Amino acid sequence: MKYVMLIFDTEAVGQLTDEERQAWSSEIFAWYEKQSATGTMPDSGAQLQGPETARTVRAGGVTDGPFMETKEVLGGYSVLETDSYDQAVEISKTWPGVERGLITLELRPVVEF
């Protein structure tokens, strides 16, 4: 089954030094390489540009930015393919930065037609 892992950056990401951000990026690339090698990540994901580039479309029109009442911003997504939801959750827990509070992940099953 496939699961979308939505990656939300917290305010802590903005407080990283350039050196810390570079080290974290290396951890992230290593994580993706490991998941690709195990076959749990057959589809690609993507990093998103910052929220300042966003447009929100509603019935009343289009506005700049997401402007949600949140301190977390959607930074990207990945698609996992695992045998169970529990396995996808366990893999998600290993994403670099979760344990340090840098990011929050939302995991959702994909509806496949």
Q: Where do the structural domains in the chain lie, given as residue ranges? A: 2-109
Instruction: Please report where in the chains the tokens 């407080």 appear, as a residue.
Output: 15
In this structure, what are the phi and psi dihedrals at residue 13, rounded to the nearest 5 degrees? -60, -40
Contact 51, 75 (CB under 8 A): no
Helices (H), the chain: 18-38, 85-93
C-alpha span between 7 and 50 (Å, rounded): 13
State the average pLDDT over residues 4-10: 90
Q: pLDDT tens digits, residue range 50-59?
A: 877 877 777 7
Task: Please report which confidence band the pLDDT of residue 77 belongs to, taking 50, 70 and 90 as the band edges.
Answer: very high
Residue 7 in this model has a pLDDT that exceeds 80 = yes
CATH of domain 2-109: 3.30.70.1060
pTM: 0.80
C-alpha span between 43 and 22 (Å, rounded): 25
Task: Please report which confidence band the pLDDT of residue 92 belongs to, taking 50, 70 and 90 as the band edges.
Answer: very high
Mean pLDDT of the chain: 86
Q: pLDDT tens digits, residue range 17-47?
A: 999 999 999 999 999 899 989 988 866 688 8
User: What pLDDT does residue 81 have?
Assistant: 92
Q: What is the DSSP letter of 111?
A: P
Contact 105, 96 (CB under 8 A): no
More confident residue, 71 or 6: 6
